[in-house]
Structure 1
Amino acid sequence: MLGDTSPIGAALVQRLLHLGHPRSQILLQSTSVVDWVDSGSVHVFFERAKPELVYLIDSSGCTDPLQRNTARTYGDSATLSPGALLGAARAAGVTRLMYVATAHEHHELQLCAALAAEGLDYRSVRTCQAYGPYSPSPVPARVARAACVIEDLLHTFTSAALQACKQVVVKADPLQRIDLMYARDVAEAIVHVTDLPRSVLAGAGRPWPLHIDIGAEDEVCVGDLIEAVAQAAGFHGRVLLEAVHAASPVPPLGNRQLDSLGWRPLIPLPTGLELTAMDFRLRHRMFPTALPRNTATGPRI
C-alpha cells in the first residue's frame, strides 16, 4: 500500500517536506506491518513508534492516519473507526493528536474534545471540500467527493477537447453551492492550527475546545465550477447542463475562525483548477485517438 493518496493527505506530506522534514523520515506504512482494522495492532504500533504527534485524517467517513514523530510515519487505514483510533492513541500514551474531519462527524469531534478536556493536546479541525492534484493508488483510496468530481470533469473535458467535440452534456444542479478549497491551502491551515499555542486555540475554538473549522472564503455554484473546469481543461465548446435533483445542501463552515487566527487561503479557484488540470495532463499524457464527435457526455454531479 502506498499510503494516503487523497488530496489532503498528499498535500500534508508536501507541507511537512516544505517545512524541512527529510523525505527519509516520512515512511510509507503498509498494512503488512500494521493492520489498521485491528485496534490491538494499532495500539502496538503506537507504543512502538511513540509518535510525538498523530495526524488522523477522516476522509468521507473513512480514516487515514498520518503519524509524525522523529521517524515520521505515514499510513493509510482501512475500516477501523476514527473513535477506535482515537482510543488506541490515548491508550498507547499519545499526548498530541490532530483529528481532521472532512464532514460533520460530530461523534468523533466530541470524543476528541472529551480527551482534550482530560488534559491531552488532542485538537480537531473540520474541513470544507478539498480538491487538487493527487496520485491515484493501486489500492482503493478514499478521496473527497469534490476531488473525484473535478477529476471526472477534467477527464471528460480534456477528452472532448482532444476529440474536437462541439459540446459536452453534464448532469448537475447548476445552482447547488459547494464549499471548496485547494488541498495545499487546507494542509497549510491544518499545520497552522496544529502549531498554535494551546492557550490561543482554546480561546478561539468553537463549538468544541481546541477545534477550528476550515471553510472556504466563498462558496461556488456547481454551474460556475463546471464552466471553470472546462476552461482549465482547454475545452472551448458548448457545455449543456442537464438539471438533476441535488441532495440536501451542507451548511458552509465559514472562515471567520481562521481569519481571526491570522490565516487565510492563498490559492483562488481559477488558479487551483489550472494547477489541478496541469497535474491531470501530466498523469494522462496518452489518449486514444478518436474521430471528432458532436457531443460528449460528462459525469453526473
Structure 2
Amino acid sequence: MNKKRIFVAGHNGMVGSAIVRQLKALGCVEVITHAKSELNLLSQADVKTFFNENNIDQVYLAAAKVGGIVANNTYPAEFIYENLTIQNNIIHSAHTSGVNDLLFLGSSCIYPKLAVQPMREDALLTAILEPTNEPYAIAKIAGIKMCESYNRQYGRNYRSIMPTNLYGENDNFHPENSHVIPALIRRFHEAKLAGDKKVIAWGSGKPMREFLHVDDMAAASIHVMNLSNDIYKANTQEMLSHINVGTGVDCTIRELVETVAKITGFLGDIEFDATKPDGAPRKLMDVSRLKSLGWEYSISLENGLKTTYEWFLNNQNNFRK
C-alpha cells in the first residue's frame, strides 16, 4: 500500500515544523517539504510545477509571513501581498492538480477588534478589524473564503482552522519582530545574565490573553484534517467552515510576565509601564466547536513555557542578533 504523500508548506516555521514532527511520528505517511531555495511559494509557475510533478494527497498550508505588532505596522504591504500570493498559489494549484484535502491555517486576528468574548466563529466579518494587523487579517480572511469557494464550486475538502496566540519550539525570538512570549523569554533571560535588578513590562498587565503550545496546535491540525466528511460537515456550516483552535482559557499579561520571570530564573523586580498601550482588554477563543469534534488541548501554559525556554537555551546561538 502506498503511503499518503503530504505536503507541508512552511515546514521551517514554528507551526509547520511541529506538524512535520507529528506526521513523521505517525510513520505511515510520506512528508514532502521544500526549502525556499527549492520552491518559491511566491511564484505561481513554480508552485504549479511542483504540484503537477509530485502527486500530493494532502496539503497543510502553514506557510505565511508573520510577525508581531511592530512588524505588522512597519511592513503592511509585504504582509498582505506575500500572504495573499502564497495562499492563492497553493490553494489554486492544489485544486488544479487534483488535491482534494487541504488545511489552511489562519489566525485569531481575523475577528473584529471589539468582538464579543469569547470569540465565536460567527463573529467573522461582523465589525472592523484591529488596524495594526488589518492587512494580515484580511489576507487570512481571504484564505478562508477561498477554501469555502473551492468547496462550493468544485466539491473540494479544503478546511480552515484559526489558532489563538501560539508559542513553543522554533518560535521567533527576534528582539523587535517577535510575539509576546518569545520577546519576554529573551528579555528576562538577558536581564538575568546582565544582573539587572528590574525589568519593565509594557502596559498595565491587566489585559487577558490566551496561549496555545505549538505541539497542541499541530495535534489539532492533524485531527481536523483527518476527520471524516460526515463528522466535519455535521459540526460546521457552509458560511462557518473555519474552526477555532485554542485552550478556551486565558490569563492576565501580569500573570504571564510573572510566570516567564520565574521560569527563566530572573530574581529582580518587575515594573509595569502603564503609559504604554494595553491593546484589547481581552482576546479569548470559543473552542466549543473543536471540542465537539473530539479535540482538547493537553499542554498547560507553565509546562509549555518551561519546554520553550529549554529550547531557547539550546538554540540561542542561532538567533544571537
Instruction: Give the TM-score of the pair, scaled to structure 1.
Output: 0.78
- 2:97 corresponds to: 92
State which drifts further: 258-267 or 184-193: 258-267
| Structure with the largest fraction of helix | 2
The verdict on how the C-alpha distance between 1:242 and 1:45 changes in structure 2, with shifts beyond 3 A counting, is: same
The verdict on how the C-alpha distance between 1:182 and 1:280 changes in structure 2, with shifts beyond 3 A counting, is: same
2:297 equivalent to 1:265:
yes
Cα distance per residue 1:111-134 (max 9 Å; x no partner)? 211212231111111111110011
- 2:72 corresponds to: none
SS at match of 2:17: helix
Amino-acid identity (%): 24
- 2:270 corresponds to: 239
The verdict on how the C-alpha distance between 1:58 and 1:253 changes in structure 2, with shifts beyond 3 A counting, is: farther
How many residue pairs get aligned? The number is 263
- 2:255 corresponds to: 224
Return the match for 2:24 from 17, 20, 26: 17
- 1:74 corresponds to: none
2:236 equivalent to 1:205:
yes
2:142 equivalent to 1:110:
no
The verdict on how the C-alpha distance between 1:55 and 1:249 changes in structure 2, with shifts beyond 3 A counting, is: farther
* RMSD of equivalent CA atoms: 2.9
Runs of 5+ consecutive residues of structure 2 not aligned to the other structure: 1-8, 68-81, 111-139
Return the match for 1:101 from 106, 109, 115: 106
Runs of 5+ consecutive residues of structure 1 not aligned to the other structure: 63-77, 289-301
- 1:277 corresponds to: 309
- Offset, 1:212: 1.7
| 8 Å contact kept, 1:131–1:180 | yes
Distance 2:32 2:150 in 1: 27
Which residue type is aligned with residue 273 of structure 1? Answer: L
SS at match of 2:188: helix
Distance 2:147 2:53 in 1: 23
Distance 2:144 2:235 in 1: 16
- 2:201 corresponds to: 170
State which drifts further: 235-244 or 204-213: 204-213
State which drifts further: 238-247 or 249-258: 249-258
| 8 Å contact kept, 1:201–1:210 | no
- Offset, 1:28: 4.2
- Offset, 1:172: 2.9
Distance 1:53 1:121 in 2: 10
Which residue type is aligned with residue 157 of structure 1? Answer: F
| 8 Å contact kept, 2:41–2:86 | no
Instruction: Give the TM-score of the pair, scaled to structure 2.
Output: 0.73
- 1:125 corresponds to: 161
| 8 Å contact kept, 1:158–1:235 | yes
SS at match of 2:199: strand
- 1:72 corresponds to: none
- Offset, 1:60: 5.6
| Structure with the largest fraction of strand | 1
State which drifts further: 113-122 or 157-166: 157-166
SS at match of 1:217: coil
| 8 Å contact kept, 1:202–1:209 | no
The verdict on how the C-alpha distance between 1:46 and 1:269 changes in structure 2, with shifts beyond 3 A counting, is: same
Distance 1:207 1:47 in 2: 29
| 8 Å contact kept, 1:58–1:99 | no
Alignment of structure 1 residues 37-186 onto 2, 5 Å: 37-57=42-62, 59=64, 80-102=85-107, 103-104=109-110, 105-117=140-152, 118-134=154-170, 148-186=179-217
